[in-house]
Amino acid sequence: MGATLEKLLRVFSTFSLSPRWSTCKCTYGSSCWPDANTFSSLSAHLSEPLVYPCPPESACYPADAPSANCAAVLTGTFDGNWRANQSGSMQSPNFETYIHPDSTVIEACYLNASLGVPCQQGSVPVVGVDARTVEDIIEAVKFAGANNLKVAIKNTGHDFLGRSTARGSFLIWTHNMKDITYNDSFSPLGAPSGETYNTITLGAGVQWHEAYSAAAVQGVILVGGLSTDGSVVAAGGWVLGGGHSALSPSYGLGVDSVLQFAVVTSTGAYLNVSSYSYPDLFWALRGGGGGTFGVVVSVTYQTHPSIPVVASVFSANTTNTTTFAKLLSEYVRISPELVDQGWGGYGDIINGSLQFLHVAPNVSLSSANDAYASFFDFARALSDEGLNVQTTSTLSYSTYYEWYKTWFTAGQPVGVNVLLGSRLLPRDVVESNYTKIGEALAEDFGWVQWVLVAGGAVSKVEPDAMGVNPAWRTALAEVLTAVSWPEGSNVSVISGWKDVLKQKISILEDLAPGSGAYLNEDSLNEENWQRLFFGSHYSQLKVIKDRYDPARMFVVVEGVGSEDWDEDLTCIREHQST
């Protein structure tokens, strides 16, 4: 009887909101951290050995005697796919570092070993599971729950808020779950007989370059993300946060194409989640944020037939701010018309230059020329006012995949310290204030991106149909900016750049006060992130979060429920512990 009671109490203390459980999660270095024998018992139930992540730069230490792997680090550090293959690497190394609260101490492992700073673990998890199967994830979750461990879920480490790493944590690494299944008659779990779709199911580790390649073989396309070398994962934080795409004006956000998730919850339950099976969780997963409701095993996307696409390419620059403001105002002014025709893409604005790459499916070359003729003529007419027009062209491609391979095999590198900020601009604001917006973006703003990934099909989905921020349904564009700093910068320098980012975000906020932001591409320092990222859906998302994560295992910065935790997301705030 005594032993049975003791066992029940042990189980209760692990999964209930008892004072011991609710105070703090167990992190490496604490007396509660499992010993080697305990981890060994976990390893015996896994398909792969445990991983012991470390900053990849550690191979270059000590500086006078680096390991043989240092050459690979130096070669691969700016390669998104190389970084994705390292269990201890984030795409932006600033998230590998750890700045002690209220101090000037930075724990980091810098690529430049000659800086004379010791290589330390920083915010990189210390041990984890290299998940290859559903059973691996279940075992990892059960182990984390039984030992009250702080958990990080990571795939490629592309998260721009560092949500896929945590200091002293236990890592669930899903990068090697690469299954891809095509099905031309998929029926979501619980759907009525006869309801079928043409789909691709992607394992949690499939990256977009792999997904696009597989889709092309089947003669279909996917609404997906675009990055250099396609290193972003297709079944992780991208889609869980909403997932925008150059195809969004034609086919909607990534979440608009999802038919089913497979997910493991903090209780160890493996659920197939659709609009008919666990519909509340399905609602939340479509935009409620990554690392929050469970560990995603796979995502099933509806596909679209592969069709020809046309691209529009433009570049121009000037040193005349007035001229530049005129160009940008016109660019903003024509944006609603473009998305109505299915055009989406990216415009980079930096140091008096504008470069954009747009794409539209199933549009003829002549229609594309008509769509952009007035803007190209407008730009050429500004030559007398100091505008140097370099490129005005429209190009046809037999498939979206051909366009993708042409433009996204090289570009901006990863492996640099960066923080982002964003705002979603509603259509009515763009239509009525395009001159103000153009003038604001023409100022000495540094890099800013005008992202045409809303409007069109995105705006046709009912705002409350899923958990994604309702601001997406009235938005026409996302405006994105960033700051960066050199490796080895001290806390004061980093703080200064964070202040610069706040100022930039303030300018964006003034363009459309209260509009919202994209939770995958924004700042760590938003004061009202619940409203900005989730809008009116936040309270319901939190209810669903508590329902499916009763152990509060999955906590990420500026994620649903994170306001209940301290700055390090390790201990429940005092007023929440009762």
Q: Could you read off the pLDDT of 477-487 as tens digits, one per residue?
A: 999 999 999 99
Dump pLDDT digits (tens) for 509-565. 999 999 999 999 999 989 899 999 999 999 999 999 999 999 999 999 999 999 999
The residue-averaged pLDDT of 87-105 equals 93
pLDDT number for residue 3: 39
Answer yes or no: is 404 within a domain.
no
In a domain, 107, yes or no: yes
Instruction: Choose the final residue of a domain: 253, 270, 305.
Output: 305
pLDDT tens digit sequence for 332-370: 999 999 999 999 999 999 999 999 999 999 999 999 999
Q: Do residues 251 and 116 both lie within one domain?
A: no
Which amino acid type is present at position 549? D
Q: Is residue 564 part of a domain?
A: no
Residues 120 and 205 in one domain: no
Does 389 share its domain with 505? yes
pLDDT bucket at 8, cuts 50 / 70 / 90: very low
* CATH for 258: 3.30.465.10
**Are both 291 and 365 inside the same structural domain?**
no
Whether 464 and 433 share a structural domain? yes
Strand-strand pairing, 197-203 and 220-221: unpaired
pLDDT reported for residue 7 = 35
Alpha helices in 79-234 (DSSP H): 80-84, 134-146, 208-217
Residue 134: inside a domain, yes or no?
yes
Tens of pLDDT, residue by residue over 389-399, are 999 999 999 99
pLDDT band at 20 (very low <50, low <70, confident <90, very high): very low
Residue-range definition of the domain harbouring residue 247: 180-305
pLDDT value at residue 104: 86
Report d(CA 351, CA 442) in Å as an integer.
Answer: 9
What pLDDT, on a 0 to 100 scale, did the predictor assign at position 573?
A: 87
Output the domain CATH number for residue 486.
3.40.462.20
Q: What pLDDT is stored for residue 10 in this prediction?
A: 35
Number of domains the chain contains: 3
Check whether residue 324 and residue 390 sit in a common domain.
Answer: yes
**Closest C-alpha to 221, from 297, 339, 308, 159:** 308
**Are 370 and 464 contained in the same domain?**
yes
pLDDT over 50 at 182, yes or no? yes
| Residue 550 covered by a domain | no
Q: Assess whether pLDDT exceeds 80 at residue 577.
A: no
Please state the rounded mean pLDDT for residues 168-194. Answer: 97
Residue 177 to residue 63: CA distance in whole angstroms? 35
Q: What is the pTM of this model?
A: 0.94
Residues 263 and 331 in one domain: no
| Percent of all residues in the chain with a pLDDT value above 90, rounded to a whole number | 91
Residue 171 in this model has a pLDDT that exceeds 60: yes
Q: What is the mean pLDDT of residues 302-317?
A: 98
Distance CA 249, CA 410 (A): 25
Q: Are both 138 and 254 inside the same structural domain?
A: no
pLDDT band at 165 (very low <50, low <70, confident <90, very high): very high
Q: Do 65 and 153 belong to one domain?
A: yes
Identify whether residues 319 and 349 lie together within a single domain: yes
Residues forming beta bridges with residue 300, ordered by sequence position: 201, 260
pLDDT surpassing 60 at residue 1: no
Residue 446 has pLDDT above 60, yes or no: yes
**Residue 17, pLDDT above cutoff 70:** no
Number of C-alpha atoms within 13 angstroms, CB side, residue 307? 12
Domain end marker among 270, 305, 340: 305
8-state DSSP, 17: -
Residue 559 lies inside a defined structural domain of this protein: no
Could you tell me the CATH number of the domain that includes residue 29?
3.30.43.10
Higher pLDDT, 179 or 103: 179
Q: Which of 121, 155, 176 is the last residue of a domain?
A: 176
In a shared domain, residues 313 and 213 = no
pLDDT-based confidence at residue 16 (cuts at 50, 70, 90):
very low
Evaluate whether residue 242 is within a structural domain: yes
Which residue carries 């497979």 as its tokens? 262
Query: Judging by DSSP bridges, how do beta strands 353-361 and 309-317 pair with one another?
Result: antiparallel
Q: Which of 343, 367, 509, 538 is nearest to 437 (CA)?
A: 509
In a domain, 315, yes or no: yes
Per-state percent for the chain, helix, strand, coil, to nearest 5: 35, 20, 40
Q: Return the number of other C-beta atoms located less than 10 Å from residue 41's C-beta.
A: 11
Question: What is the model's pLDDT at position 13?
Answer: 34
Phi/psi of residue 260, each to 5°?
-165, 145
Rounded average pLDDT over 452-475: 98
- Confidence at 576, pLDDT banded by 50, 70, 90: low
Q: Which residue has the higher pLDDT, 573 or 119?
A: 119
Instruction: Look over the chain and give the mean of its residue pLDDT values, rounded to a whole number.
Output: 94
What is the C-alpha to C-alpha distance for residues 552 and 43, in angstroms, rounded to an integer?
A: 24
